[in-house]
Each structure stands twice: as C-alpha cells, then as structure tokens.
Amino acid sequence: MSRFVQLHVLTSYPPSNLNRDDTGRPKTALMGGAMRLRLSSQSQKRAWRTSDIFETSLAGNLGTRTKWMGKEVFQELKKSGIAEKPAREWTKAIAARFGKLKSDKKTEKDEDLEIEQLAHFSPEEIAAINALAATCAARGSAPAESELALLSKPRHAVDIAMFGRMLADSPAFNVEAAVQVSHAITVHKAAVEDDYFVAVDDLNDGQEDSGASHIGERGYGAGLFYLYLCVNRELLQENLGGDEALTNKALDALLNAVTRVSPTGMQNSFASRAYASYVLAEKGDQQPRSLAQAFLKPITPYGDQNMLGVAVEAIRTRYKNFDKVYGECAELRYEIDVEAGEGTLPELIAFVQS
C-alpha cells in the first residue's frame, strides 16, 4: 500500500460568495503578486463532513463537534425526572471531562453547562456519555470518579480520523489528522465585485411610493480554483483501528465529497454549486508536494485558449518538471478530465483505494 495519496483538483465556480471574511466579502489571498479568490480549508472540510454524502455513506461513523454536549445531557437527566440542581451538578462533572467549563457567572441560561472550546466527540464517547447519564438517572445518584473516564481514542469516527482532534486539557486523546487540505485559490487574477440590489415591497402598488423598500450590496467573485489534498493512508487506517474496510469507505466518501460538494456560503443567493472539472491523483511513498507553484504566474488565456485547458497543462508541466529535477515524485498517477471526457470517478476511487 502506498503511504501517500495526493489530489490536485480544479473546480470552476460561477459568481459566488462561498467563504466570507469578517466584512462579508469573499476571502482573498495575494499570490505571485496577484490577488486571488480563496476558499479556506475549514470551510471546505466542514462542507464535506456535514454533506449528505458523508452522512449517508458513513452513518454511525461520524463524530459531533460541539460545546453543547452538556446541555444535551442536562435535558435528558431532567426528562428522566432528576431535579434541576443535581442534574446540573452531574452534567458539569460529565462535560468537564472534555474541556474547561464556562463560568457559572455567565448570564445566559445554561451557559455554565458549556465547555469553552469546541470538542469533537466520537460515536463511542457519545454512547458512553448517554449510558452514564441513563445509569445516574436510574439509580438517582451522581457519577462516580471511575465512571467519568469517558475519553477514549476514537476508532470509528471517520471525520476525526481524517481531520484530527485537539483536546488542550487531555492531549493523550488527541488525534493527528490523516488528511491535509489546502486553501483553494484561483489560478488567475480575480477581483471581488459588488452586487448592488434592491427589494420591492409586494404590497406597494406604486401609487404613492414606487421606490424600493430595501437597498443593499454584497461582494462576489468567480474563478477556477486549485485545491490540494494530501492523504496519509497508513495514518488514516491506524486512526480507524486498522479497519481496512472502513478506511476504504472513508476514501470513497472523501473522493465523492471533494469532487461534488461545494462550500455552502450564500448558495441560495448564487446557486454556485459545481463539480470538479479535473483531478490528478498521485500515489507513492515519496515526500508529498503541492503543485500550486504552477500558478505563481497567474493564468491569462490568449485567443481561443480555454482557462481550464491551460490550467491542466500547467499542472502536467509542473509535475513532469518536478520528476526531472527530483526523480519520480509519485509511483502511480490517474486523471479525470471533464473537458476531455477522460477518466471516471469510480475508477479514480478504485485507484486511490487500491
């Protein structure tokens, strides 16, 4: 089994605002002296792991990332007939195992049941929490110290195995991510434009006032994005307890999501959903490397040149030149190219899994 799988993905998005900054405008990055549109790795990973593809194909093997697990436990204890004060104390004891609790001096209701940082709970840990809460409710007493050993190394949570977990107060239960994801950037110069829009009141008949009831603007951009992923297959299988079948299911779901799932930002406003137009997959034990350098000089098609075709050739030229300088940087390669109608997603998945 090759240790590393590298994916180089080109996806073209029409006008969109898939990933916003703190001002509500599309995120950008300066690369090669040119401004590019950018999709953060966080926005992409969240879109994949919460997608219908993951939820359907990996049902029962996904974790839950939340600060609010204590609130869930508290409500279950109260439903079981436990009075509010003991339910709150028992809940705090359970929730505190996964992170530092917020101060009980907070004004928001039940905020003292939250932990301060998001924790990624595995299915096994959620089951253990629910079982302990049920046991405490049935016997009417607080959890014993020995029963509060709820943390465990996840072995069935694919999203944790892929993207990792960090517990600042319990580093022994951290999980190193097996899938590294870049920020996607446009292969060409890109500008953030402004969409000026108005809204009209349906009950305004125009007899007294024919103006708009609301005026606003939002930023948007369009472009062809390059995305790079590096999958450590050995680490992924190790994170999943050595389960080869589950590892292959995870890779299947990941490839389907990467090629077919778009970030969710402002989709209702722009309907900017897109499938990948080109994917290069590489396998081998060699030190991984991105091919983003192929786009240090922004692509500028001339004449009848196609932006996608030029970008694909830039990727091919770059990996061939890397091979010439450093020796073979991958043992095997497989491509799907929508423009040329070459390759298939099932064959790509089989290539990555084999």
Specify whether 55 is located in the same domain as 113.
Answer: no
**pLDDT category, 82, cuts 50, 70, 90?**
very high
Residue 262 contacts residue 45 (beta carbons within 8 Å): no
pLDDT average, residue stretch 299-319 = 94
Q: What's the pLDDT tens digit per position in 21-42?
A: 998 999 999 999 999 999 999 9
Residue 201 placed within a domain: no
Residue 254 shares a structural domain with residue 147: no
Residue 107 above 70 pLDDT?
no
Nearest CA among 52, 264, 49, 259 for reference residue 161: 49
Q: Report pLDDT for 106.
A: 54
Residue 94 has pLDDT above 70, yes or no: yes
Do 51 and 183 lie in a common domain?
A: yes
Tell me: do 131 and 52 sit in the same domain: no
The answer on 233 and 347 residing in a single domain is: yes
Looking at the domain assignment, is residue 23 inside a domain? yes
> Residue 105 — pLDDT band, cuts 50, 70, 90?
low
The per-residue pLDDT for 217 is 86
Domain annotation covers residue 209: no
Confidence band, pLDDT 50/70/90 cuts, at residue 199: confident
Is residue 115 domain-resident? yes
- Kindly provide the residue ranges of all beta strands, DSSP E only, lying in the chain, ordered along the sequence: 4-16, 28-31, 34-39, 64-66, 119-121, 179-181, 184-186, 193-199, 214-232, 278-284, 332-337
84 phi/psi in degrees, rounded to 5: -60, -45
How much is the pLDDT for 224? 98
Whether 254 and 347 map to the same domain: the answer is yes
pTM for the full model? 0.93
The rounded mean pLDDT for the chain is 94
Whether residues 97 and 185 fall in one domain: no
Please give the structure tokens belonging to residue 267: 């989709």
Domain membership flag for residue 202: no
Quote the number of domains for the chain. 2
Same structural domain, 74 and 183: no
Distance CA 143, CA 223 (A): 55
Confidence tier at 196 by pLDDT (50, 70, 90): confident
Q: Are residues 107 and 227 in the same domain?
A: no
Q: Is the domain of 55 the same as that of 85?
A: no
Percent of the chain with pLDDT over 90: 87
Does 193 have pLDDT greater than 90? yes
Range of the structural domain that residue 76 is part of: 65-153
Same domain flag for 38 and 124: no
Q: Across the strands, what pairs with 342?
A: 337
Residue 129 neighbours by CB distance under 10 Å? 21
- Pair (23, 134) in one structural domain: no
| DSSP state string for 90-148 | HHHHHHGGGSPBPPTT-SSTTGGGSBSS-EEE-HHHHHHHHHHHHHHHHHTSPPPGGGG
